[in-house]
Amino acid sequence: MHDKIEDIEIRLLLEALFLKYHYDFRKYAAASVKRRLRQAKEAMGFETFSAMQEALLHDASMLPRLLGYLTVQVSEMFRDPSYFRAIREKVVPHLRTYPSLRLWVAGCSEGEELYSLVILFREEGLEDRTLFYATDINQDALARAEAGVFDLERIQHFTENHRQSGGHSSLSSYYSAAYGRASFDKTLRKQVVFADHSLVTDAVFAEMHLISCRNVLIYFDRELQDRAIGLFKDSLARKGFLGLGAKENLRFSGHAGAFLDFVREEKIYQRRTE
């Protein structure tokens, strides 16, 4: 029918990316990948995806730029405040009963979600007993997350979200502002481990009490979503919690039976005891 050649070229490009660099986008949601690859092709000035593939195979310096297009770094602090409110009001009371905690922000992007949770845990008095793992496949994003610097113009929105999430401290007490930027306090990172980890190709690395993985699964096809959810299932302690993005759910997953709806409207699930 229409433009099937382009589809073939895209498959070959993703195959090359995997074989040469071990980044596996072959089972990401196809329409979104195609859209982002078209943007990359245009911005990098290639006529065809085949030309792009050839360049990618022979020039490793193209990789970070391409990954920048393929991974979507759209985030905000306390995104969907009602989710963080539910973590605070419904999940935290359970977590309080543990002497030590491990929390995993999977697909942490530039750190917005991580800092939100660290601040929430500090407000609730749980930070010191918690080890936070923040993982992503995009190295640039991880480096930014580790730096904890955000454009000052985004802060007003973050502050409003924080307030709506039930935050009972002032967000401004966690950063210092200068030259149009807000630098978040390094003490917020003292309990954090940043790591390069892929939900597609990597394995379980620790037992978690809470996994927050928001707006990442939406970029996967169903099979890949299921792989990631299996990974979460295997990573969670008994009665551990899994929080997903507002439009993600376990309904179509083969692992759905291993979880209970904990806060249904906020896509927060609890691992069954078995």
Partner 1 sequence: MSAPGAIVIGASAGALEALSVLLPALPASFASPVFVVVHLPPDRKSILAEIFQAKCRIPVHEAEDKEPIMAGTIYFAPPNYHLLIETENSLALSSDEPVRYSRPSIDVLFESAADTYGPALTAIVLTGANPDGADGLRRIGLAGGTVLVQDPTEAMAPEMPLAALAACPTAQVLPLAGIASFLLGV
Chain residues that interact with ligand SAM, rule: CB under 6 A: 71-75, 79, 106-107, 109, 112-113, 136-138, 141, 198-200, 214-216, 245
User: Which one of partner 1, ligand SAM, none interacts with residue 3, CB within 5 to 8 A by kind?
Assistant: partner 1
Q: How large is the greatest C-alpha to C-alpha distance in the chain, in angstroms?
A: 61
CA distances from 153 to 18, 150, 177, 274 (A): 37, 8, 11, 47
25 versus 262: smaller Cβ distance to ligand SAM? 25
Smaller CB separation from ligand SAM, 137 or 242 = 137
Q: Which is nearer to ligand SAM, 240 or 245 (CB)?
A: 245
Residue position matching structure tokens 């080890």: 131
Instruction: Find which of ligand SAM, partner 1, none residue 247 binds, CB within 5 to 8 Å per kind.
Output: partner 1
Instruction: Name the pairing type of β-strands 130-136 and 192-196.
Output: parallel
Whichever of 35 and 272 has its CB closer to ligand SAM, that residue is 35
Of the pair 79, 102, the CB lying nearest ligand SAM is at 79
d(CA 268, CA 152) in angstroms, rounded, equals: 31
Helices then strands, each counted (H, E), the chain:
10, 10
Contact call for residues 69 and 36 (beta carbons, < 8 A): yes
Tokens matching residue 65: 């730029």
- CB within 8 A of 161, min separation 6: which ones? 76, 77, 78, 79, 81, 84
**Residue 200, contacted partner among ligand SAM, partner 1, none, CB below 5-8 A by kind:** ligand SAM
Residues near partner 1 (CB under 8 A):
1-3, 29-32, 34-36, 72, 74, 215, 217-219, 221-222, 225, 245-249, 251-252
User: Which partner from the list ligand SAM, partner 1, none does 138 bind, CB cut-off 5 to 8 Å by kind?
Assistant: ligand SAM
